[in-house]
């Protein structure tokens, strides 16, 4: 009887492990899918954050360049006025 019970017990244990294994596989797949979804959301948020930071940085740089251009224009105008004044002085 014992010779017969051991193979039956082993067969039942193998079936139980197979059932557990399938359930464990399903749970592992679900966990992997959830983690992949979290990674995708996190990556999308990171891309959005980088885009926003880039836009802010480029906007700031553009404002700085515009301010520098305006300062150069004002300095040019000042030089023109000074040159005109000097020219008038030399003519008199």
pLDDT tens-digit series, residues 14-41: 555 555 667 776 777 788 888 888 888 9
Q: Is the pTM of this model over 0.95?
A: no
Give the chain's length.
Answer: 92
Torsion angle of alpha carbons 5, 11, 14, 20, nearest 10°? -90
**Distance from the first to the final alpha carbon of the chain:** 134
- Report how far residue 40's alpha carbon sits from residue 74's, in angstroms, rounded to the nearest whole number: 51
Between 86 and 11, residue with greater pLDDT: 86
- pLDDT band at 65, cuts 50/70/90? very high
- The number of angstroms, rounded, from the C-alpha of 63 to the middle of its chain's C-alpha atoms is 25
């Amino acid at each position: 009887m014992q010779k017969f019970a051991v193979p039956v017990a082993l067969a039942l244990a193998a079936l139980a492990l197979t059932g557990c294994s399938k359930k464990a596989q399903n749970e592992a797949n679900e966990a992997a899918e959830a983690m992949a979804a979290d990674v995708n959301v996190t990556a999308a948020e990171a891309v959005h954050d980088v885009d926003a930071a880039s836009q802010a940085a480029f906007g700031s740089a553009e404002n700085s360049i515009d301010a520098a251009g305006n300062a150069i224009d004002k300095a040019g105008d000042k030089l023109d006025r000074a040159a005109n004044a000097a020219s008038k002085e030399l003519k008199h």
